[in-house]
Amino acid sequence: MKQQIKRNALAYYCYFAVTAVATFVTSPFLIGYLGSGSFGAFKAAQKLMDIASVADGRSAQALKWITARLLGSGDHERLSRSVSSAVLVAGAFMLPLLSVVTLIAFASDSLIRVDETTERALIASCVAILGLNLVLSPLLTIPDAALVGSNRGYISTVSQTFWFALANALMVFFAWAGYSIVYLALAVLIGTIGNGLSLLVYTRRSTQWFRWARPSRDEVRSFTGLSGWLLAWAGVEKFLLAGELLLISSMIGATSVTEYVLATYVSQLILAVTLMTASAVTPSIGQLITLKLGQARRLIISLREVIFAIASLGASGLLLLNGAFVSLWVGSEYFVGGAANLLIALAMVEIAMIRFYSQIGDLTLKVRSRALLGIATTALTILVPLGVAQFRAITLEAMIAAILIARLPLLVYLAWQVRALIRIPSIGHTRIITAIVLMSACYILGTRVEPRSWFQFSAAVCLMVVVAVPTLSLAILSPQTRRHLGEAISRRIRKEG
Per run of 10 residues, the mean pLDDT along the chain (length 497 residues) is 65 79 86 82 81 67 70 68 78 79 77 63 84 86 80 81 91 90 92 91 83 72 61 64 70 73 86 80 64 73 88 92 89 84 92 86 67 74 71 75 84 84 80 90 86 88 88 84 68 49
- Count of beta carbons in the 10 Å neighbourhood of residue 42: 31
Q: What is the pLDDT of residue 493?
A: 46
Specify the DSSP class assigned to residue 238.
H
Residue 348: predicted pLDDT? 92
Contact 100, 55 (CB under 8 A): yes
Q: CA-to-CA distance for 184 and 197, rounded, in angstroms? A: 20
Q: What is the DSSP string of 246-272?
A: HHHHHHT-HHHHHHHHHHTHHHHHHHH
CA distance 437 to 206: 50
pLDDT, residue 497, reads 45
**Three-state DSSP class for 145?**
helix
Cα torsion 214, 216, 220, 223: sign:
negative
How far is it, in rounded angstroms, from Cα 328 to Cα 451? 9
